Structure 1
Amino acid sequence: MTVTTEVSAREAEVLALVGQHLSNAEIAAKLFISVRTVESHVSALLRKLDVTDRRALAGFSQAPSRNPLPTPLTSFVGRVPERAALAELLAAHRQVTAVGPGGVGKTRLALAVAAEIGAGYPDGVWFVDLVPVTGPGPCVVAAAVAAAMGIGEQLGRAMTESVVDALADRSVLLVLDNCEQVRDGVAPFLEKLLSSCPRVAVLATSRARLMVPFERVYPVPPLSLEGGGESDAVALFLDRAAAASWPPNHALRDPIAAFCARLDGMALAIELAAARWSALGLDGLTAGLADPLRMLEGGSRTDERHRSVRAALDWSHALLDPQDQALLRRLSVFVSPFTLDAAAEVAGATADGLARLAEQSLLVVTPSPAGTEFRMLQTIRQYATDQLTATGELDQARARHLAWCACQADRLAGLGPEWRVRFDAVADDLRAAQGWSEDYRLTRRLAELTFARKLASESQIRFEQAARLAPDPAEAAEMFRQAAAVAGCRIRGDDTYRYLLAAAEISPDPAAAARDLATAATTTHRFWGKFDQLPTRQETVALVERAGELAGDDPAARAAVALAEAGVLSDAFGAAQGPADNAVPETVARAERAVELAHRLGDPLAESAALDALIGAQCWAGDTFGTAATARKRIILLAALPDTPAATHELLDALGMAAETALGAGDLPGARRAGRQLADHPLMSEVGHRGSCWLVVTEALAGDTDAVLRHGERFLESWQRAGRPAKSALAPAAAAVAMVHGLRGDEEQRQRWLGVLETMGVTPECTYGFGAVFDAIRLLDQDRAAEAAERLVPEPDEVWKWVTWIWLHWYVALRAEAAVLAGHPQAAARIAAAREIVTGNPVATALVDRADALLAGDDERVRATAAALRAAGCDYQAARSQRLSGSPARGGSSRTG
């Protein structure tokens, strides 16, 4: 409407009374003027205000003065996508309800959006807080709107009609805040308003949708956690913490992100926590999450509902019917998303009941093709649990939840391949039920399930817990044995040893105790590299002797004792070295007896362990091909076994042994297969440096530089993450990567890896094995044959402990080539000695043939070795044969470039 002329004071008085719907006679009486004069003023007003009738004039008289939005006392942080989405909805729909739980940030978001789009409403944006409104019906809501906008009540008409008349042709945006408590009044008011006032739009905030015809619902999400330390949730925490004291250090962003995630990104909770930053620090705040409702209070808010998270939830709780309050309490036992069926079984829920809680934003609903899931935000769940405790229903509710969890755990075994998805869905509930109930059956099942899910660390803990909860000593001993096997999978030798001793101590069966003691002693020999603190030889010998006393005639116990004797009692130098020279035949004999006894049992695990002892004995006897064959036999023996902790532990060891022995026999494809299978095993993710060690070595010897560098960096990262353990068993991988960098001419990286090698605590003796081999390959590649010959100067029988394992064939073959290229007078003798040792090894045989051809100056024979080496999977040495052909027999160039 356009005002063409200024309205006089008397005309303004008449206009106000027209707005009260008084007749001309009533206006004349009030102003003490004639009716004709009133008629004249009315005619003038119609002309000046450019309206056509008295009704429009009355509406104009009630045109409200623009009322500014409330000014927030703190800055608005983030929410860029949410603001855009809400503004877009308002541009397309006349009534949008921003819905969410208390404290999620609905009001601040609505105010921010209203301020951004307010210019699009010529007659203003109006904020109406409905918190103070009490009483049913649309009139109380209309009265609140009228009060906020300065609209007067018309005599003889309801306030709803007065507001509708005043806004009939106005372009305004109403922001109706906190509609949940007067939903029954808001809905009919909005239906009347929006149907009669085509240029009015409404942005409502509510914990539940309003259920009106025009409504479009916008679920307000928690603050974004995407981006970790750069997320909206972290930005809000930092902003409010800085306002309260000083800003947190930038290095704390990621820990703060994790903290905010535990608050589900709830804006109010984050603000209240940040306000206590200066008093508690991040560690104190995190500790306070054990009782979040107590910690998240004390906000300096004028609105009592937002002084604490508990107060905000009290408000929502009070709006529920008693039956829905009871359902909310009972559902609090779930810690993971749950289905309708689960809620019905545990809490007696119905679809209607869940829908009502969801409508009040007390449940988050997630539809999916597999079915709808419901969950509570953490603070709401804690609140409901407190209510459950206060009503004395906690034990009963938990008992129902425990029964449901036990049933779910039992069902998982029969689900087939999809069991993992189902386990992940209920795992947190299983853990929670186990935590408060300490139920043995559920604890044992959880231990088994977590192991099958490749959560080895948790599985070990669960088996140990099950041992403490077991109903009898025999069952407890079995749980300790399972824990020992899982610890073995995790390369935790000390834990394996401790659990086996615990099993022996409580086992009521002497034969079973004998097996445990013997196995504990054997562990110190077989897996000495997995220990942080290796037991003394005196201690382990005593275990074997005690096991022998308890074994009696039990076949399994006798087989276990025989295995222990084959390892521990034959070891004259201790677990890390091997038998004395004159003890080798006795060691082999004891190992063969252990294999025979285990085979009679028909127990593949016992036989595999005995075969491992035989591999060790064959190794010290210098039987390279025998060790490889025995290692392959272990793999075949274990292949069809179920995925139990004990079987998995044995398989992981067997794969490592297969890779090592295959390398020693020149079977590079076989070493690569076993190495990859070990590196890719899910249980190796925790100790990736252990899993990938032999794959790195294999690729280095084969000459796949890219694979070495790729696997090497992963190896290094895992080793560093594990605390940089000084384990010489890891050293071959570090030496292999150092060699490859040397071949590439990258001395800086080579020195870096030599530093890693030094940290691993490699002894000088070990350098006659892999150290000598890798150094010789590098030196020969760099045409430093004399230095290579010097590096390999010790005779094999002088350092046999360190070269008869997987390195003997590589050592003697490279020693022969270095002697030829360095012009050593014993070159021919070394070739002959090497040929006798390496016969049957495709790689080492080709290397010795090449050395012989170089000595003879026969280029054609040198080139011929390239095909043999390539067929054996040793591409680096194949390429080297091509480069060496045509070179002088002594000092010829073979640089890789």
Structure 2
Amino acid sequence: MTGVEISPREAEVLELVGARLSNAEIAARLFISVRTVESHVSSLLRKLEVQDRRALARRAPTSAGAAPSHRAPVLPAPLTSFVGRVSERTELAEMIKAHRQVTAVGPGGVGKTRLALAVAAEAAGEYADGVWFVDLVPVTDPDMTATAVAGALGLGEQPGRDMTESVVAALADRHALLVLDNCEQVVHGVALLIERLLARCPRLTVLATSRARLMVPFERVYAVPPLSLAVDGESDAVALFMERAAAVGWPLDPPLYDQVAAICARLDGMALAIELAAARYPTLGLDGITIALSHPLRMLTGGSRADERHRSVRAALDWSHALLEPADRALLRRVSVFAAPFTAAAAAEVAGIEEGMADEGLIADGLARLAEQSLLVVTASPGGTEYRALETIRQYGTERLAEAGELVDARSRHLRWCLAKATGLAVVREDWRARFDLVADDLRAALAWAAGQPEQRTDAYDLARHLAELTYTRNLTGESQRRYEQAAALAIDPAATASMLRQAAAVAGCRTVGDDVYRLHRASADAARRAGDTAGAAADLATAATTAFRFSTLFVRIPPREEALALISEARELAGDDPAAQAAVALAEAGVLADAFGAAQGPPGNAVPETIARAERAVELARRTGNPLAESAALDALTGAQSWAGDTFAAAATARRRIMLLSSMPISPAGTHELIDALSMATEAGLGAGDVPGARRWARQLADHPSLAEVGHRATCRLLMVDALAGNVDEVLTGSVRFLDAWRRAGSPARSFLRPAATGVAMIHGLRDDHDARREWQEVLDQLGTTPEHTYGYGAVFDAMLLLHHGQAPEALERMAPEPGHVWKWVTWIWLHWYVALRAEAAVLAGRPDSRDRLAEARAVVAGNPVAGAIVERAEALLDDDQEVLLATVDAFGAAGCPYQYARTLVLAGGDHAERGRAVLAGLSLAPMAPAPTPMTTSER
């Protein structure tokens, strides 16, 4: 490591790589972009001369200049000291060592959170991957539990799986302690999540705090006792009171010990109650506190509604509440509806309903008085002073609202406030993300309440719709889909239901969940029928059928062809003369009836003219509707038809038309889904036509698309494919780190569209003679499975390139033994020109007597393709020993953006040119080429 210069930022990245954080997690931790992290990782790979991320992680301790250690605990910083509880800390620490899941149980205010934090901080050094703390206070929906945990872990939405899977994948191999605080209001969600975590994360320990047991397998319960009142002459309760009183500037003399002990005893040793009492000491004194506590405690001891869990905390809160002026009491209970920190302005809107309370200045004064009495926490934020009620106090305030008969009115005002906030967030500004995050928990809480109130159904629908739109913009696509479906369930008008289900289907498409797209379009068709919209129902049914063949790789269960045909038949009957419905039906017919649907089971029926005619009709009908999304989908069908016909250049031109059509579309779930697909198709079609720079440009747009930020394997797969074919080695090495990390964190999905990228990366490592790395990527390919495309398409192309590099022309020719006409066009439409050109070159270098004929056939197939055409020209120049033509192809490869073929041609040219070529290969970090055999000339034959 001596002499290796690593910047401070690289050192930070290296340390986090060593801690096994993903690029997305590192970016979130260091407040930089994922692209910047990728750049630092690539630089570190080069500087430290290691081949992959695993090796880089092993170098992390010494490279970063620090001894290996666990990550710093991700724990809230306590604002006050932790007092006493020596035995409790020891007991709980021993329990989490012995058991994988421990729940610290006790009444509100007993001190569960502080005890858990203290134990977690002390135990942090025993967990290699650190301690993670998740505050579940803002979570009101059990289904959002995993989302809260994901937020604490720095995870985002990953299309194709829910948040629970994301959390499980992130923690699967971690040796960590996860602290889940305040579980009582989402026990069901926490229980389900913990069961999944315990089953699939063998080195994870979970410490939960709750007012009730979670009732999950292997749970060990630790009952948190009140603070000790007298143990060997010492009292933790008294020590806490004395410390907090001193903190507010009023230290107590030792002779007052007995008086303080009496107060603590009357407060049953409850930590929250003691802290509240100590906070009042400067204004009331011990005598005043004693008097003030007399009546509330007497009333709440043994009464008919005396809940054992709440007795002590309720006593403390009732006491504190009794000391408030009537206006402050009203303010406390009304601000209890806020789930997140709020401002004085927000409180004025939601709480200030009586004369004299709507003034923001008066509200701010009242909030200050509540904060002085420790009933609210005050924090400074960029948006101004914010207030927050602790959860116990919030629950207490809610009960007081109900007792005062104000609960419905307060919740309704809060709902209207949330609706206004959601509406205001519709305009995306630079600070949009921060503004959304500030109110997101309130929006969710308001919706959770309103959804169960029949009289609030209209507002609940509006809020669900807004929240669906906002979470989509926030890239929380899983929640967005759920909110759209929730809005559909809340809608009174069936037409609105259908609209929301269509939006949900579009988001499901962005998430690559084909089964949900299909289900939701069928559901929207049912809703459209109820609304009397037969044309809309027809379009939905046809779209469901189209999805089944157009996005078949995204399905877990592909619907049977007969089912899709039945949907088309029904859609045709309902469409009438509606242009949009007719266009949707035509698109479905262009795919399903042209036999593309059966492609997964065998080659398509050779009705090429009919296939193209149906696709062109679909495009024309879609164009008449004036809907760019419908036209883009129809152009996709035409791209497929042209590829089946072997018209590579027409397919590429049609794919480019889609990009132009969609480039000015506003952001929407349907638009994003269509654009991502269009970019994918344009990349592949451009590559098939030899437009490497164009293909790379579109692949780069995919890799940088915000919707794919957290799914690096899907984002980078096509860019890796292009860079591997071109020979952009550094880009492949950098991108493959992101791909592999994201793929593993996603649960290593066996998606066929990922195979070309993995095959290309494996080839690059083969060209580098990096056998260990190539073996690792071969293992990835084994997990992805073998497909016909690998056998006849990209697999043959990448294998042939590697074999030719090593001088194994006969083996390369054997790898591409099938005649091009015998290889299914639906497999090789991207790869046909590459296949034909490399096959011709292999024949020349292998000395095949029919090389001249093969070259002639190849030239006819690849005419117009700058890369494949140059490969064929190079092969013929080698056969004819024509040095001038051979060197002309060097420039052709340079202009086409193919540095590997550029260098290979120079080596094949021999002499001084070969020296230049070897230098270029070395600059690309590739191993030297094996000497190529000299082809037989025409005279020798």
In the superposition, the TM-score normalised over structure 2's length comes to 0.65
For the 8 Å contact 1:460–1:487, the answer to whether it is kept is yes
> What is the CA distance between 1:529 and its match in structure 2?
0.6
Q: Aligned partners of 2:554, 2:211: CA distance in 1, in Å? A: 35
Say yes or no: does 1:585 pair with 2:609: yes
Check 1:509–1:325 CA distance in 2 against 1; reply closer, same or farther (3 A cut). same
Instruction: Report the counterpart of residue 413 of structure 1 in structure 2.
Output: 426
Structure 2 residue matching 1:574: 3-state secondary structure = helix
Q: Aligned partners of 2:74, 2:906: CA distance in 1, in Å? A: 65
Instruction: Report the counterpart of residue 744 of structure 1 in structure 2.
Output: 768
Q: Aligned partners of 1:390, 1:840: CA distance in 2, in Å? A: 81
For the 8 Å contact 1:620–1:805, the answer to whether it is kept is yes
Q: Deviations over 1:827-864 (max 9, x none)?
A: 22222211111122111111111111111223343333
Instruction: Report the counterpart of residue 490 of structure 2 in structure 1.
Output: 469
Q: Aligned partners of 2:888, 2:692: CA distance in 1, in Å? A: 19
Instruction: Report the counterpart of residue 715 of structure 1 in structure 2.
Output: 739
Alignment of 1:760-779 (within 5 A): 760-764=784-788, 766-779=790-803
Check 1:637–1:623 CA distance in 2 against 1; reply closer, same or farther (3 A cut). same
Instruction: Report the counterpart of residue 116 of structure 1 in structure 2.
Output: none
Q: Aligned partners of 2:527, 2:483: CA distance in 1, in Å? A: 18
Q: Aligned partners of 1:709, 1:370: CA distance in 2, in Å? A: 43
Check 1:469–1:346 CA distance in 2 against 1; reply closer, same or farther (3 A cut). same
Q: Which of residues 501, 504, 523 is equivalent to 1:483?
A: 504
For the 8 Å contact 2:792–2:823, the answer to whether it is kept is yes
Q: Aligned partners of 1:252, 1:689: CA distance in 2, in Å? A: 19
Structure 2 residue matching 1:315: 3-state secondary structure = helix
Structure 1 residue matching 2:927: 3-state secondary structure = coil
AA aligned to 2:439 is V
Q: Which of residues 349, 357, 360 is equivalent to 1:345?
A: 349
Q: Which of residues 726, 734, 742 is equivalent to 1:702?
A: 726
Q: Which of residues 825, 828, 839 is equivalent to 2:852?
A: 828
Q: Deviations over 1:787-810 (max 9, x none)?
A: 111111211001033554110111
Instruction: Report the counterpart of residue 539 of structure 2 in structure 1.
Output: 515
Instruction: Report the counterpart of residue 465 of structure 2 in structure 1.
Output: 444
Where do 5+ consecutive residues of structure 2 fail to align? 1-72, 86-115, 134-170, 185-204, 216-220, 230-263, 273-309, 358-362, 452-459, 929-941
Instruction: Report the counterpart of residue 316 of structure 2 in structure 1.
Output: 315
Q: Aligned partners of 1:818, 1:494: CA distance in 2, in Å? A: 44
Q: Deviations over 1:338-378 (max 9, x none)?
A: 11100111122711111122223332322244322222334
Q: Deviations over 1:170-219 (max 9, x none)?
A: xxxxxxxxxxxxxxxxxxxxxxxxxxxxxxxxxxxxxxxxxxxxxxxxxx
Q: Deviations over 1:701-721 (max 9, x none)?
A: 121222212222322232223
Instruction: Report the counterpart of residue 647 of structure 1 in structure 2.
Output: 671
Instruction: Report the counterpart of residue 228 of structure 2 in structure 1.
Output: 301
Q: Which of residues 564, 567, 589 is equivalent to 2:591?
A: 567
Check 1:236–1:671 CA distance in 2 against 1; reply closer, same or farther (3 A cut). closer
For the 8 Å contact 1:813–1:847, the answer to whether it is kept is yes
> What is the CA distance between 1:761 and its match in structure 2?
2.4
AA aligned to 1:752 is E
AA aligned to 1:604 is P
Q: Deviations over 1:855-892 (max 9, x none)?
A: 122334333322221221111111111111118999x9
Q: Aligned partners of 2:708, 2:593: CA distance in 1, in Å? A: 32
For the 8 Å contact 1:604–1:638, the answer to whether it is kept is yes
AA aligned to 2:426 is A
For the 8 Å contact 1:571–1:579, the answer to whether it is kept is no
Instruction: Report the counterpart of residue 550 of structure 1 in structure 2.
Output: 574
Check 1:799–1:229 CA distance in 2 against 1; reply closer, same or farther (3 A cut). farther
AA aligned to 1:896 is A
Structure 2 residue matching 1:793: 3-state secondary structure = coil
> What is the CA distance between 1:679 and its match in structure 2?
1.8
Q: Aligned partners of 2:911, 2:837: CA distance in 1, in Å? A: 19
Where do 5+ consecutive residues of structure 1 fail to align? 1-77, 84-99, 110-220, 238-249, 264-280
Instruction: Report the counterpart of residue 603 of structure 1 in structure 2.
Output: 627
Check 1:724–1:418 CA distance in 2 against 1; reply closer, same or farther (3 A cut). same
Check 1:677–1:262 CA distance in 2 against 1; reply closer, same or farther (3 A cut). farther
Structure 2 residue matching 1:767: 3-state secondary structure = helix
For the 8 Å contact 1:517–1:547, the answer to whether it is kept is yes
Alignment of 1:850-889 (within 5 A): 850-886=874-910
> What is the CA distance between 1:688 and its match in structure 2?
2.9
> What is the CA distance between 1:408 and its match in structure 2?
0.8
AA aligned to 2:691 is D
For the 8 Å contact 1:313–1:383, the answer to whether it is kept is yes
> What is the CA distance between 1:589 and its match in structure 2?
0.5
Q: Aligned partners of 2:572, 2:748: CA distance in 1, in Å? A: 39
AA aligned to 2:515 is D
Instruction: Report the counterpart of residue 453 of structure 1 in structure 2.
Output: 474
Q: Aligned partners of 1:859, 1:399: CA distance in 2, in Å? A: 84
> What is the CA distance between 1:482 and its match in structure 2?
0.6
For the 8 Å contact 1:405–1:429, the answer to whether it is kept is yes
For the 8 Å contact 1:296–1:308, the answer to whether it is kept is no
Q: Aligned partners of 2:634, 2:401: CA distance in 1, in Å? A: 57
Q: Aligned partners of 2:688, 2:405: CA distance in 1, in Å? A: 69
Task: State, as a whole percentage, how many aligned pairs show the same letter.
Answer: 57
For the 8 Å contact 2:803–2:809, the answer to whether it is kept is yes
Check 1:253–1:853 CA distance in 2 against 1; reply closer, same or farther (3 A cut). closer
> What is the CA distance between 1:577 and its match in structure 2?
6.2
> What is the CA distance between 1:661 and its match in structure 2?
0.7
Q: Aligned partners of 1:496, 1:633: CA distance in 2, in Å? A: 25
Q: Aligned partners of 2:888, 2:785: CA distance in 1, in Å? A: 41
Check 1:446–1:572 CA distance in 2 against 1; reply closer, same or farther (3 A cut). closer
Say yes or no: does 1:259 pair with 2:283: no
AA aligned to 1:481 is R
Structure 2 residue matching 1:372: 3-state secondary structure = strand
Alignment of 1:119-138 (within 5 A): none
Q: Aligned partners of 2:314, 2:125: CA distance in 1, in Å? A: 29
Instruction: Report the counterpart of residue 373 of structure 1 in structure 2.
Output: 386
For the 8 Å contact 2:679–2:702, the answer to whether it is kept is yes
Say yes or no: does 1:504 pair with 2:525: yes
Q: Aligned partners of 2:350, 2:375: CA distance in 1, in Å? A: 18
Instruction: Report the counterpart of residue 618 of structure 1 in structure 2.
Output: 642
Higher relative contact order (CA 8 A, sep 6+): 2
The structure that has the greater radius of gyration is: 1
> What is the CA distance between 1:318 and its match in structure 2?
2.2
Q: Aligned partners of 2:778, 2:75: CA distance in 1, in Å? A: 51
> What is the CA distance between 1:409 and its match in structure 2?
0.8
Check 1:627–1:81 CA distance in 2 against 1; reply closer, same or farther (3 A cut). closer
For the 8 Å contact 2:907–2:913, the answer to whether it is kept is no
* Matched length: 663
Q: Aligned partners of 1:458, 1:685: CA distance in 2, in Å? A: 16
Q: Aligned partners of 1:81, 1:297: CA distance in 2, in Å? A: 20
AA aligned to 2:907 is R
Q: Aligned partners of 1:225, 1:409: CA distance in 2, in Å? A: 37
Instruction: Report the counterpart of residue 335 of structure 2 in structure 1.
Output: 331
Say yes or no: does 1:399 pair with 2:430: no
Q: Aligned partners of 1:235, 1:108: CA distance in 2, in Å? A: 22
AA aligned to 2:417 is W
Check 1:573–1:441 CA distance in 2 against 1; reply closer, same or farther (3 A cut). closer
Check 1:79–1:607 CA distance in 2 against 1; reply closer, same or farther (3 A cut). closer
Structure 2 residue matching 1:461: 3-state secondary structure = helix
Instruction: Report the counterpart of residue 493 of structure 1 in structure 2.
Output: 514
Structure 2 residue matching 1:362: 3-state secondary structure = coil
AA aligned to 2:787 is T
AA aligned to 1:375 is R
For the 8 Å contact 2:801–2:838, the answer to whether it is kept is yes
Check 1:534–1:366 CA distance in 2 against 1; reply closer, same or farther (3 A cut). same
